[in-house]
Amino acid sequence: MQNKTALINRLKSVVGHLNGIITMVDDDRYCIDVIKQIQAVEAALAKVSNMILDDHLRTCLITAVRGEDAAERERALNEISELFAQQNK
What CATH number is given to the structural domain containing 55? 1.20.58.1000
Sign for the CA dihedral angle at 72, 80, 45, 35 comes to: negative
**6-44 tens-digit pLDDT:** 999 999 999 999 999 999 999 999 999 999 999 999 999
Domain count, the chain: 1
Quote the domain boundaries for residue 44.
4-87
Q: Within 10 Å of residue 59's Cβ, how many Cβ atoms?
A: 12
pTM over 0.85: no
The percent of residues above 90 in pLDDT, for the chain, comes to 88
The pLDDT, as a whole number, for residue 2 is 62
Between helix 4-26 and helix 31-56 the angle, nearest 10°, is 160
The pLDDT, as a whole number, for residue 32 is 98
Q: Is the pLDDT of residue 65 over 80?
A: yes
The pLDDT, as a whole number, for residue 45 is 96
